[in-house]
Amino acid sequence: MKPTESNKRIDILDYLRGFALLGIIQVNILPLLAVKVPEPGTADASYQRFLFLFVEGRFYTLFSFLFGVGFYLFISRANAKGKNGYVLFLRRVAALFILGWFHVKYHPGEALTIYAVTGLLLLPFYKVKKEINLATGLILLIVLSIQSFKLFMVVPLMLLGITAGQYRLFERLAEKIKKVSIFTAILLIASTAGLIYQYQHAPSNPFGFYTGVDQATYQFLSIGIMIGPLVSAFYVGILILLLQIPFVQKLLSPLKNYGRMALTNYIFQTVFIYLAGNVFNLFEALSYLQSLIVCLTIYIIQLTFSTIWLRFYQFGPLEWIWRVLTYLEIPPMRKRVKEVH
């Protein structure tokens, strides 16, 4: 990645947001369409096990962390421009809460309202020393991970995101690749050990996690939540390393566009899921692998739309509305002619 000035977007964060969205929908679709519990010994059962080993609790974790990074960057950049970053941030989370409030009516357990409330609670930590934030975030994350308190883990994850912003972790990454490589190698070992441990506790039969689970399944899912941050961090390290290769950067450029419109795409994932469910009568009729096909279709639609939209416009549709509510002014939506290339 090329060094990025503090007032410009940090591309790696957009790639990571897009990557997080790819995983989030694979899990969210299950309760929204009441996907059928797989039969034992089938390909659907194998896919369910794959999801709860490599996806569930990994991408939501990453998305929460990235919101914390964005929290810090937003206030810092606003202050650097001579604006009151705190007031703007309060408007920003208020607008996010409103969007989330509408979204949660159709998607119980959605993240936006949680992020808005947590962002408000963590606002005082913006001025706390980074060493204190790091220690506090890590201790809270370890404790809550061990207890498998998934909902409350948003707090330390966002705090660690703020800390990453304070340490400028994602800036000038090309100069930090050796450290990133070592970090990723350590995480590979730790994640592998954790996944093997979780796999050893996998229930013998598939389960319907949104209808209640037995003790064995609960333990399997709890271990998944506990090791989630490790696996998520490993994914981050791998993606950063891959993106140092120009060909991979170009190949994954649609993912960057997907992440630039993360708010729009996150909410419209729900819209598309319900649209598919109603048009094709998929509620309580879809198998696990069929849910993957729906997700892949939504990927194609959203990745294509995001790439085309950002060819002509500066912001995603909901990002533009979020910006209007934050700054109380109407910014131009279309790019200037010389910016369209």
Average pLDDT for residues 146-150, to the nearest whole number?
Answer: 93
- Three-state DSSP state, 334: strand
The whole-number pLDDT of residue 9 equals 80
For residue 182, give both structure tokens.
């070592």
- Domain ranges in the chain are 11-339
Q: Cβ distance 201 to 219 under 8 Å?
A: yes
The whole-number pLDDT of residue 210 equals 58
Whole-model pTM: value is: 0.94
Q: Cβ distance 163 to 151 under 8 Å?
A: no
The whole-number pLDDT of residue 2 equals 41
Q: Alpha-carbon distance 212 to 210, whole Å?
A: 6
- Three-state DSSP state, 335: coil
Average pLDDT for residues 113-137, to the nearest whole number?
Answer: 97
Q: Cα angle at 262 between 73 and 178, to 5 degrees?
A: 55
In 3D space, the residue among 165, 123, 178, 163 whose CA is nearest the CA of residue 6 turns out to be 165
The whole-number pLDDT of residue 237 equals 98
Q: Cβ distance 150 to 63 under 8 Å?
A: no
Q: Cβ distance 25 to 271 under 8 Å?
A: no
For residue 23, CA distances in Å to 58, 61, 115, 213 come to 8, 11, 18, 22
337 pLDDT exceeds 80?
A: no
Q: Alpha-carbon distance 319 to 306, whole Å?
A: 12
What tens digit of pLDDT does each residue of 165-209 get?
999 999 999 899 999 999 999 999 999 999 999 999 999 999 986
Q: What is the helix (H) or strand (E) element at residue 27, kind and residue range?
A: helix 11-32
